[in-house]
Structure 1
Amino acid sequence: MTLDIRSTLRDWGFNPDEVTVRTIEGDDGLEKIQLRLDLGLMQMEVDGRPDGERVEGFDSWFELHRDRQRQHDAENPDGAPYRLKPEDCANLLREGVQYYHRYVSFWALSRYELCARDTERNLQLILFVRDHAKLERDKLQFDQWRPYVAMMHARAVATPMLEAGHREAAIQAIDIGVHRIERFLADYGREEQADQVNELSFLLRWRREIADGGKRKLPKPEDYVPDDPLDQLRERLAEAIEAERYEEAANLRDELNRLENPPPPGG
């Protein structure tokens, strides 16, 4: 038996432009998720914590702290609220990143139900930390992810509905995602910055396309909205390619991809 994984990596190339993921059967007979990285690979369980570990008898740090919080509130109905210390938040953040890697992998595999499960889990984690973290910086470190996770959850719920022909149900799922992001903006008094939030713009644009049945319609004068920035980018990209301005075209293509598939915070 060798510990060297070079042969595995050589037979499974890494593509930096897409999520490279596959499923395998583990030695225990259960399905595993493998995510290819530039310097190796990550293997995750399908259920429970992605690393397969348990925390003091609980499925996760999140479940442990939710249990402690319920016990604390029952024993101290009129006392100080349950508080997460910085080291608690550090454990929860590392765990949340594990779930992020897994739900991105589920999305790439078109395992939408499982992607929806993990994104909903991380949304609840974000809200839990926001309500219970002792330090404001810990709250903000988690809450910055809320628009992205809300968008990914809406996509994971709405996509299979669309594929099944349930257009109205898909729109309702998108509306929930829109409401969650608008709630995020309202929490910080940033409603006027809604048009700067890529995740919200993506969901609203997607909703319009679904409502229009995938067909463009000429708007009535009273319904006029400014040109879609994506359409403007596509026109500029076509012009740059025609004029053989390839460096500009590459930059425009990257920007177009970023707006069509908003990255996570810091991504």
Structure 2
Amino acid sequence: MRSWMGWWCNGKKRGEQQMEDISRILNNWEFNAEDICVRKIVGQDGREKLQVRVDLGMLQMNLDGRPDGTRPHGKESLLHHFRRKARKHQAETEDPLQLTEEDCDVLGQESLQYYHRYVCLLRLGDYDRVITDTLHNLAIFDLVTESSTTDEEKMLFEQYRPYVTMINTRAQGELRLLEEDYDGALKIIDEGITNIEEMLDEYEEFESPEDSEEIYALQTWREEITRSRPITLKQRLAQQLQEAIAEEKYERAATLRDRLEGLEKKRF
């Protein structure tokens, strides 16, 4: 016992290699409680990774595949494994696969890994990967809803569907804004709001759409886009025309109307 305690106090067991101290990395990367401190690096294996500075140290995740870099059951993820298992089970028995409580637990742990990653990716503006990761988690929710044997297990996952849908909507909208497709972004936001409203109406356990933080966040973002989007010459002339009519400046209104008609003719 004394010998075992000696190894423990020395911080390693006999024959175990000394672990590397990461203090140098932490000292050169200050933690900020007001922001998500995340960066991309290239690992020793040549693959891109995410590093996240937290108050007690640092987390590191793979950028693609499972965040922890593992391949459970030889598959890209547990979602892929259980999907394949469900197809095989149904082909052999003609009955749907029933997930056990343990199955749901490990799927929940996987979805948590993807959550940590897509939040960081959103902060970095890597919207394509945010979409991929949020769709992954939504697919896990679908699988559990279809295959879990208890309503309690289903609700453990379904309660997060509005939030994940909001993040997915945000990422899709941001991609449209990068292309200056403001109408496309607004359409995506409206679809996201509608989807969340339908989710909340489906379950009595959920809050009402009027109290949804996810819907409020998307509505607020929509207002910001509408308010800040650049307007076209046609829109500016139309606004000026309405102002001229309201102020009874009919000569100016006639001039503005002629310019608008001229723009319309140029389109054809």
Report the TM-score, using the length of structure 1 for normalisation. Answer: 0.74
Aligned amino acid, residue 209 of structure 2: A
Q: 2:219 aligns with which of 193, 204, 228?
A: 204
The aligned counterpart of 2:57 is: 40
The aligned counterpart of 1:263 is: none
The aligned counterpart of 1:51 is: 68
Matches within 5 A, 1:48-87: 48-77=65-94, 79=95, 81-87=96-102
Shift of 1:117: 1.1
| Per-residue Cα deviation, 1:193-245 (whole angstroms, up to 9, x for no partner) | 21100101111232244345559xxxxxxxxxxxxxxxxxxxxxxxxxxxxxx
Aligned amino acid, residue 126 of structure 2: R
The alignment of Structure 1 onto Structure 2 pairs a total of residues equal to: 213
Q: 1:19 aligns with which of 13, 36, 41?
A: 36
Q: Distance in 2 between matches of 1:50 and 1:124?
A: 17
Is residue 138 of structure 1 aligned with residue 150 of structure 2? no
Please tell me whether the aligned partners of residues 162 and 170 of structure 1 are also in contact (alpha carbons under 8 angstroms).
yes
Please tell me whether the aligned partners of residues 66 and 77 of structure 2 are also in contact (alpha carbons under 8 angstroms).
yes
Please tell me whether the aligned partners of residues 112 and 157 of structure 1 are also in contact (alpha carbons under 8 angstroms).
yes
Matches within 5 A, 1:213-252: 214=229
Please tell me whether the aligned partners of residues 86 and 135 of structure 1 are also in contact (alpha carbons under 8 angstroms).
no
Partner secondary structure for residue 56 of structure 1: helix
Q: 1:193 aligns with which of 193, 208, 228?
A: 208
The worse-fitting range, judged by mean Cα deviation, of 178-187 and 20-29 is 178-187
Q: Distance in 1 between matches of 2:22 and 2:228?
A: 48
Q: Which has the higher contact order (CA 8 A, sep 6+)?
A: 1
Is residue 30 of structure 1 aligned with residue 47 of structure 2? yes
CA gap of 1:85–1:38, structure 2 versus 1, over 3 A, is: same
Q: Distance in 2 between matches of 1:178 and 1:72?
A: 36
**Structure 1: tracts of 5 or more residues without a match:** 216-267
Shift of 1:189: 4.3
Q: Distance in 2 between matches of 1:182 and 1:74?
A: 36
- Aligned-CA RMSD value: 1.9
Is residue 150 of structure 1 aligned with residue 168 of structure 2? no
Q: Distance in 1 between matches of 2:45 and 2:156?
A: 37
Partner secondary structure for residue 43 of structure 1: strand
Aligned amino acid, residue 204 of structure 1: Q
Aligned amino acid, residue 43 of structure 2: G
Shift of 1:19: 0.6
CA gap of 1:49–1:166, structure 2 versus 1, over 3 A, is: same
Report the TM-score, using the length of structure 2 for normalisation. Answer: 0.74
Is residue 91 of structure 1 aligned with residue 126 of structure 2? no
Q: Distance in 2 between matches of 1:90 and 1:191?
A: 22
CA gap of 1:6–1:28, structure 2 versus 1, over 3 A, is: same
Shift of 1:64: 0.6
The aligned counterpart of 1:10 is: 27
Is residue 178 of structure 1 aligned with residue 183 of structure 2? no
Q: Distance in 1 between matches of 2:49 and 2:122?
A: 15
